Each structure stands twice: as C-alpha cells, then as structure tokens.
Chain A
Amino acid sequence: MKGRSIEPFFWSLFSSGGMLCAMVLPAVAAILWIAIPLGWIAAPNHESLVALVAHPIIRLALFGLVALGAFHWGHRFRFTLYDGLQLKHLFGLIAAVCYGTATALTVLAAYVLWTL
C-alpha cells in the first residue's frame, strides 16, 4: 500500500480539517466577529480571555484548528486551481504554493501559540 502516492496524507488533513472547521468555525465567527462587535453579546474581558488561552489544552486545540484549517484550504484550493482554471501544467508550482502557504501558517500558529 505504501509508497504508491502521498495523496492519502494530504487527504486526511483535508478531511479532518474540513470536519473540524465545519463544526467549530461558524460559531466562532458568529460570536467573535459579528455578535461581539455589534454589541449583541458583551465582549469578554481581556483577563478572562488571556486566562482561557493560557490553558495548554486550549492552545493545542487552537493550534489544531489553524493547522488543519490551513491544510484543508491548501488541499482544496490546489484542486480548485487545477480544475477551475485548467492549470494542470503548473501542477508542481500550484502544489508548492498551496501546501507551502499551509505549512507557513502552521509554523506561524505554532510560534504564536507557544509564545502567547
């Protein structure tokens, strides 16, 4: 089975990222970026948020969310560019840009959450 194609690895990141983001992101976006800025919900105070993200489990969860979300996008967008724009001849370049950006975001997330 192994050595045939590296695709299963990227697909597993895509599908787990897709499921995680599907479950979590709508609520996060609705609260943090719509409800709170519009004043529908009282903004949580700074200290309590800092305390919340200090928790190692929360940090790990946030890292997972950003990393898997980034790779979900990378994998999916790679295929969108191939098929949507019929850019198959740029196969290698597109894969490098998509997964490269995702890797960069993952590294950035690791750095941010480690030094928070």
Chain B
Amino acid sequence: MNPEYRLYHPKWYRRRIPIFWWLKKLAYLKFVLRELTSLAVVYAVVLLLLQLVALSRGEAAYARFLDLLGRPGFLAIHTLVLLGLVFHTVTWLNLAPRALVLRLRGKKVPDRFILAGHYLGWLAVTLLIVWGLVGR
C-alpha cells in the first residue's frame, strides 16, 4: 500500500492516549513512582552538597545546619526521601539480572546469583559507610 495513503488513511480509527495514562494500570503507576525516585536522588545529592558547604563554614554554621535537620518538618521530608532512595535501590538492583547476563562454562549464571551479588555489594557498601561515619 502506498505509504502516504497509509499515513493519512481517513477511516482507520486512531485512539487518543489519555493524559493520565499512567493511572490506568497498576504496572504503569509502579513505573512512574519508580521513575520519580530520581527526584529523591537529586534532592539527596544537593542536600549533601549543602551539608559540605555548611561544614566548610565552620563549627557554628555546621551546628545550625544540624539543628535544621532536626526540625520535624525536615525529618518528615527526609523520611520520605529515604523511602524514595530505598525504593530506587531495590527497583534498580532487582532489574540488574535483566541487563547483566553472564555465562560461565557455556551456561547462563542464574538470576538469583546476580541478584545476590548486587545485594551483598549494597550491604558491603552500607557497612563501609557506617564504619566511616559512626563513632567519629
């Protein structure tokens, strides 16, 4: 069929995609929530940067920053941010076996090993950070 005719064929019915397409299916809603965790990520790195700035301005400035962190409003926001960050981590690591396919001696390494490796890596990094920050 002539491509131009096909493109403008007057009688084929073309359905519109609703603006809230992502509310129509649970899978889509989960996807959008997962993608919105990028906001938690950027918030976290910006806050980290601000904390470093406060640190460099001396003890008094840093103490004021810590006080701010202790305010209930910020604690509430930061709890949500932490949930977002954990959701990012879990959804990211769970997808790792789909992108990383390793073959050992001709056989595919089962997904659960790839997954276990990533989660153990997360645990190791977490412990490293705890060791680095706690008890200083």
| Direct A–B contact in complex, judged by CB atoms less than 8 Å apart | yes
* Contact of A29 with B49 at beta-carbon distance under 8 Å, contacts A22-B88, A24-B129, A77-B38 already known: no
Known: A37-B69, A62-B52, A65-B48. A44 touches B42 (CB 8 A): no
User: How many Å lie between the Cα of A41 and that of B129 in the bound state?
Assistant: 13
Q: A33: CB under 8 A from chain B? A: yes
Q: Is the CB of B52 within 8 A of A33?
A: no
In Å, the complex CA distance between A27 and B125 comes to: 8
Interface string of A13-32 (1 = CB under 8 A from B): 00001110111111111111
List A residues 9-68 near B (Cβ within 8 Å). Answer: 17-19, 21-34, 36-38, 41-46, 48-50, 52-53, 62, 65-66
- Interface residues of chain B, those whose CB is within 8 Å of chain A, are 17, 19, 22, 32, 35-36, 38-39, 41-42, 44-49, 51-53, 55-56, 59, 62, 66, 69-70, 74-75, 78-79, 81-82, 85-86, 88-89, 92-93, 121-122, 125-126, 129-130, 132-136
Enumerate 12 A-B pairs (CB-CB under 8 Å) in ascending A order. A21-B88, A22-B92, A29-B44, A31-B134, A34-B78, A36-B69, A49-B136, A70-B45, A72-B41, A80-B36, A84-B35, A112-B53
